[in-house]
Structure 1
Amino acid sequence: MLKLYFTLTIACLSIVVFADGKHVISVEKYPFSIHNQSEIVDLGEDFVSLDEVIADKSKFAFTSLANPTTNLGFTNHHYWVRFKLTNSSSEVKKWFLETARPITDVADLYRIDADEKISLVKNGDMIPFANRPVEHRKLLFPIHLEANSSAEFYLHLHSDGEVISLPLTIHDDFSLIKATYFDQLIFGIFYGLLALAATTYLFFYFGIKEKSFMLYVFYVVSVALLHSSLDGYFFQYFLKDSGWFADRSLLLFAAISGVLFGRYTQVYSRVKNFSKPLNTAFNCVNISILILILGILIYDPGRPLYYPLVNGLGFTLIILCTIGVTLSIIRKQPVDIFFALGIASFTLGFIVFILNNFNLIPNSFITENSAKLGTGLEILFLSLSMANRIRLLRNEKEKAQTLALQRSEESNEIKSYFLSNMSHELRTPLNAILGLSQSIMSEISDEKIKENL
């Protein structure tokens, strides 16, 4: 166990000094990470209070953080992180500490001042958005340090089984605004693409009545809901408070998007036509996800298992989609190039995202947002694929109309031929009947018989 606490000293040029006094790192601009000055301990599923942690420091084996964006993986454990900040300048410093993910349930920051006074700032997905210390989709803590003062901090993190990542980033006002603008640009492009795709193909569905178009629209909407939940926007703008649905929204959106993705792939690529076993496999995975949704709704104790399970089932669907595209090529079935590129993009992004969630690759901005990048490219390519689908449907309709016209002309010709022949065959006996009737009428005088004739 590390016995020395680390000290962060920020002067006019933001100088970071290790507590052992042997290393000095100059930080010229915000933001920057303090992970090198922080330590963490995993206390398992049982909550341990701050008083217990402080009372017997030797009992808890705090360890250094591995990197600036440590990923703790799927977990429902309680974690404590500790660090110390010092302001050696002659001015009051105002910082913002960014940590965890927007979906983290509990993120409580305890501050211990030099006079042993303890204060608490609560944050996380379990408190109303209006009660957050900073009304922002990210979990931010405002920190004020008086001139020539220092304070110890203990951060308590807990979630219900979802992934916990652990950035410990210090912002000033300007860097926080700059980071927010950058997020708005990236996320604006992403969500704008989803909104455009969903709206466009919703109108196409009402015009064409093609089932795959409506499945595609539902899938895009579910993807938007899933990512808005991951990014904190759904909680910020729609839920705004914790509750039954807030606790389950991320899992539900992930499971629903998985089902819709599987059904859309089945319908669009017509898996049933070229591989019944593969179609059966799709059905089995979809049924498994529906059972998972039922568990999410009615059985809370299984929640720590639901997060890795929904990721695993999603990954299985991607494998089935890849197999479907491969089989189509092998059996010389028509495969839309944009559909194949969309599946490939989503597969690559989702694989990186899954590996990051299971803490198998280092956490970074790219790996953490790989699913968003892969999904954005997937939606773009699938939209182009759907445009090709419209062209194919239009060609099929034109061919059907041409064939119907040809058959109509053939039917008219057959009818004309039939009538011309039948009129000749009918005229001969009718003429004989009419002639005989007239001859009889001319030779009899009975008016009743003439009337009958």
Structure 2
Amino acid sequence: MGYAHASTVVLNDAGKVISLGPSLSVYVDPANQLPFEAVRSLPPEVWQPVQDNTPNYGYSAKGYWFRTQLRLQPGLPRNWLIEVGYPVLDHVECWLIQQGRIVAHWHTGDDVPFSQRPVFHRNFLFPIELTPDSEYQLWLNVSSQGTVQLPITLQTPAQFIEVEQARLLPQAIYFGMLIVLLIYNAFIWIRIHERIYLYYITYVAAMLLGQMGIQGLGYQYLWSGNIWWQDKSMAVVTASFVTFVSLFTDEFLRLWLSKPWLSRFLRGQAGLAALIALGALWLPYAVMIRVVVMLALLATVVSLFSGLLSLKQGSLPARYFVAAWSLFLGGVLLYALQKYGLLPRNWMTEYGVQLGSVFEVVVVSIALADRINHERRKRYLAQKTALEEARHRAVAESRLLYQSLHDRLTGNPNRVLLEQASGAILDRATQSGQLAAFLLIKFAQFHEINNTLGHQAGDGLLKLVADRLDQAVGRLPGIEMLETGSNGALAHIEGVSFAALMVAASEADILLSAKELARAMRETVLYLDMAIDIPVMIGISLYPAHAKDFDSLLRCAEVAVEMVVHSEHDVVIYSDSGNRYSARRLSMMGELRQAMQSDGELTLFYQPKLDLHTRQVVGVEALLRWTHPVHGNVPPDQFVVMAEHTGLIKPLTQWVLQRALRQLQHWQSQGLALGMAVNISARNLREAQFCEQLLAQLHAVQISPDTLTLELTETAVMCDQEVALRVLRHIREAGVQIAMDDFGVGHSSLSYLSQLPICELKIDKSFIFALDRQPDDTAIVRTTINMAHDLGLRVVAEGIESEQVCERLQALGCDLGQGYHIARPMPAEQLVAWLRTVRTES
């Protein structure tokens, strides 16, 4: 097949960019419908030489076919890139043919998703691989609803990267300047809310989007997946630009004052452009882009004309305006004429709008800044006196406001400010799904210091320790600031009471932080050459668990501080059971007393204890349950604690012992050889007749004492060690078994246990839950078991919830175990049936 007018492009230099335009031949398909094979069969005489570096056919609906020949000289790279540097073409199709065979074919353009382009780039890139001294035919088919141009080059990938870097630098500078000016003036508009700045930032934004669309950056980065918008964007954005430019011109030059008729014309032009922008969303792009380009040219001329009229009348802002729009108009004219094919595509015509626009937006931005300064100077003198008076008034009001919200001695926020800040803090905690904690912090025994040193010295010391407390509170995680722009998180409620608000994910996190605060405040204070210890008591109430308003949270925290006084801890979280003033607590204690005198509400559940070596059930633990007729199932940790605080624990323990021993007697009569474990309280050990009453109950039911085990916690023994040891020894001498419950969470050691008359050690469930996953827990449990065995004690593990943990404990030598994996607590009748089932399976 012959190639009239088409010369072969010989690739003999890998270091330069080769323009393929002069080597192209073109065939124009008027109907834009011929397939590739039909075009290949056309006679040579229908092809015309292009000769130009950039073929430009203006706005045309025709299809354009181009072809040329390529040959690579030996010794050069085989990989090359074909670049079509006009990214707004709707349809670009490329074929590479060798010896009559198609070796590569690409179809791309604006009507194809960006992700399907051969190379991810704003321009159309086609990677080809050439064999030296082999002839190749390159064919292209191009069509577009906009202007049809074909700036086509051939270069190696390395050369393309070098050229691309040089092209991107001015582009980055241009777009960077537009973005900076856009953001700068947007902030000014947000600050002063003047329409002129809104018009300015909108027309600069439209200019920015338009230039990004022309350069292909919009399709590459902003709307790469939206073909419909890529097709419509140029017409819509350009019409929007005209809308806001017209409004800006009218506002900047204040034409509504000097030239009302011109002002009306510009506003009408803005309205027309807005309608065209809407119409461009649905009407054909080929029609709308021509209309929009003409409208943009008209708007630029009218804006410049308006500036010249205002300049003639002596308007100072018009000087900036005319200078800016003169160059911009020149750039728009060059670009528009090039689009219509009246000027060739070169650096000046392609980037004329960018050169003119960047000068225009910079100068206009300077003019806006000058306008602000001018108006500011005009207002300055008029406002100076008023500002001075307002300043004095504000200082006085600020001083009064500060004094009303802060404590005069310590300078900390007072209760009023704390209550004001609490509303927003509690709301944020609710929205985030977290807990809010009210920490009431009270210095212990401070009245003794005041009585010793006097109130003046006491005030000085209080200010000193309040500063320390403020710093320590500020370091806690989740602590909330009470004032915006302040580091103050500590409020001075009254006297020696302070408060803070904390937000955390769990109650455990809150308790951990509070304990850390208490430890930090144990450090000795040096004051007036004296070393003084001033510990703190911290009471905590939780929102919304304990209360839902400020006053109630404070009241609950005050109750928690009182609970600290009567406990061995320096941090206590509020509970209804510890609130001596709780109406429900008082009511429930009376109801608990009635429940002990009636049948049905109080019941005993029994949880089996398993010998881990023989896998036989050897005993049970009696657990008290209360089914309240109104409140339902009341957790034991609530009513037992309340019973301890009110003295009701004594008859309650006797009730449990009596029924547990009767049940044990009944089981033994049925041939069930089981041991019975019952929990007792520290208060039971301080009862004068507890031991005698216990032995009397054992004698009444004819039960061997060694089948009964009394369980008590480390804390119960540590409360009054001398009394506890005397009572426990008496009980043990009578044959009753004694077990230390919840070992590991208290303060005792295994060496101390050797002094106690105990037979059994129960490892707390917190060490057992994740025994198969926590190496540290395994080490602790192994050490505890070995040392307990050395002391001659049985070891019971509570909280077994998996077979893996059960097997792990057996391997570590643990004697007994209980937990949900073995069996949950159950009524006596159900336990018997369960035992039969287990023994049958065994």
TM-score, scaled to structure 1: 0.80
The question of 1:49 aligning with 2:31 is answered no
Aligned partners of 1:121 and 1:141 also within 8 Å: yes
After superposition, residues 223-238 of structure 1 pair within 5 angstroms as 223-238=207-222
Question: 2:163 is matched with which residue?
Answer: 179
- Read off the aligned partner of 2:371 and give its amino acid letter: R
Find the partner of 2:368 among 386, 391, 416.
386
1:333 and 2:318 are equivalent in the alignment: no
**Does the Cα contact within 8 Å between 2:95 and 2:138 map onto a contact in 1?**
yes
Does 1:267 pair with 2:244?
no
Q: CA deviation at 1:3?
A: 2.2
Q: Secondary structure at the match of 2:317?
A: coil
Task: Tell me, yes or no, if the aligned pair for 1:100 and 1:164 is still in contact at 8 Å.
Answer: no
CA, structure 1 residues 114+250, in 2 after alignment: closer, same or farther (shift >3 Å)? same
The secondary structure found in structure 2 opposite 1:224 is: helix
Partner in structure 1 of residue 97 of structure 2: 112
Q: Which moved more, 1:80-89 or 1:122-131?
A: 122-131
- Alignment partners' CA distance in 2, 1:56 and 1:329: 61
For 2:409, the equivalent position in structure 1 comes to none
**Number of residue equivalences:** 386
2:209 is matched by which residue type in structure 1?
L
Give the equivalent residue in structure 2 for 1:101.
86
Determine what percentage of the aligned residue pairs are the same residue: 22
Give the counterpart letter for 2:250 in structure 1.
Answer: Q
**Larger Rg: 1 or 2?**
2
Contact 2:307-2:318 at 8 Å conserved across structures? no
1:238 deviates by: 1.8
Match of 1:307 among 289, 299, 305: 289
- Amino acid aligned to 2:94: L
What is the letter of the counterpart of residue 214 of structure 2? L
In structure 1, distance between residues paired with 2:381 and 2:194: 17
Partner residue, 2:54: 69
Q: Counterparts in 2 of 1:6-155, with a 5 A limit? A: 6-11=7-12, 13=13, 29-58=15-44, 61-89=46-74, 93-117=78-102, 119-155=104-140
CA distance in 1, matches of 2:375, 2:193: 11
Structure-2 change in CA distance of 1:115 and 1:55 (3 Å): closer
- Give the match for residue 348 of structure 2: 366
CA distance in 1, matches of 2:139, 2:377: 66
**Counterpart residue number, 1:449:** none
The amino acid that maps onto 1:339 is: F
CA distance in 2 between counterparts of 1:94 and 1:138 reads 18
In 1, distance between residues paired with 2:199 and 2:183?
13
Aligned to 1:222: 206
> 1:50, 1:36 → 2: CA distance?
22
Aligned match of 1:24: none
CA distance in 1, matches of 2:222, 2:386: 52
Q: Check whether the contact 1:72–1:166 (CA below 8 A) recurs between aligned residues.
A: no
| 1:403 to 1:165, Cα distance in 2 relative to 1, 3 A | farther
Alignment partner, residue 21 of structure 1? none
Partner secondary structure for residue 343 of structure 2:
coil
Aligned in 2, Cα 1:148/1:77: closer, same or farther, shift over 3 Å?
A: same
1:293 aligns with 2:277: yes
* Mapped contact 2:311–2:319 kept (Cα < 8 A): no
Question: Which gives a bigger RCO, structure 1 or 2 (Cα 8 Å, sep 6+)?
Answer: 1
Alpha-carbon distance in structure 2 between the residues aligned to 1:191 and 1:293: 23
Counterpart for residue 159 of structure 1: 144
Where does residue 323 of structure 1 map in the other structure? 305
Inter-partner Cα distance in structure 1 for 2:181 and 2:77: 49
- Structure 1's unaligned 5+ residue stretches are 15-28, 406-453
Match of 2:301, SS state, is helix
Task: Tell me which residue corresponds to 1:278.
Answer: 262
How much has 1:130 moved relative to structure 2? 2.1
Deviates more, 1:168-177 or 1:239-248: 239-248
Residue 421 of structure 2 aligns with which residue? none
- In the TM superposition, structure 1's runs of 4+ consecutive aligned residues that sit over 6 Å from their partners are 402-405
Given the superposition, is the C-alpha separation of residues 331 and 115 from structure 1 closer, same or farther in structure 2, using an over 3 Å criterion? closer
Deviation at 1:155, TM superposition (A): 0.3
TM-score w.r.t. the length of structure 2 is: 0.44
Per-residue Cα deviation, 1:23-77 (whole angstroms, up to 9, x for no partner):
xxxxxx311212221111221243211111112325x722221421222212222
CA distance in 1 between partners of 2:303 and 2:283 (Å): 30
| CA deviation after TM superposition for structure 1 residue 367, in Å | 0.9
Partner of 1:18: none
- Give a deviation string over 1:183-217, Cα, whole Å, max 9, x none: 22111101110111011111111222221012111
| CA distance in structure 2 between the aligned counterparts of 1:399 and 1:317, rounded to whole angstroms | 40
**Between structures 1 and 2, the one with greater helix share:** 1
Contact 1:30 1:175 in 2 (8 A): yes
**Residue 118 and residue 350 in structure 1: after superposition, are their counterparts in 2 closer, same or farther (change >3 A)?**
same
Query: How far 1:169 moved relative to its partner?
Result: 0.8
- Matched-pair contact (CA < 8 Å) for 2:112–2:227: no
Instruction: Please state if 1:357 is matched with 2:321.
Output: no
Q: CA separation in 2, counterparts of 1:91 and 1:337?
A: 57
Q: CA deviation at 1:242?
A: 4.3
Counterparts of 1:290 and 1:210 in 2: how far apart (Å)?
21
CA RMSD of aligned residues (A): 2.1
Matches of 2:251 and 2:305, distance apart in 1: 15
Unaligned runs of 5+ in 2: 388-842
Contact 2:317 2:367 in 1 (8 A): no
State the 1:163 CA deviation.
Answer: 1.7
For 1:293-313, what per-residue CA distance to the aligned partner results, in whole angstroms no more than 9, with x for missing partners? 23212223xx21211211111
Cα deviation 1:234-284 (Å, max 9, x = unaligned): 111122234322221121111111111111111111111111221222123
C-alpha distance 242-401 of structure 1, shift in aligned 2 (>3 A): closer
State the Cα distance separating 1:100 from its structure 2 match.
Answer: 4.8
- 2:304 & 2:343 partners in 1: Cα distance? 23
Task: Determine if contact 2:311/2:318 at 8 Å carries over to the other structure.
Answer: no
> 2:5 touches 2:25 (CA, 8 Å); kept in 1?
no
Find out whether 1:209 has 2:193 as its counterpart.
yes
Distance in 2 between the 1:66 and 1:101 partners?
A: 18
Q: Secondary structure at the match of 2:142?
A: strand
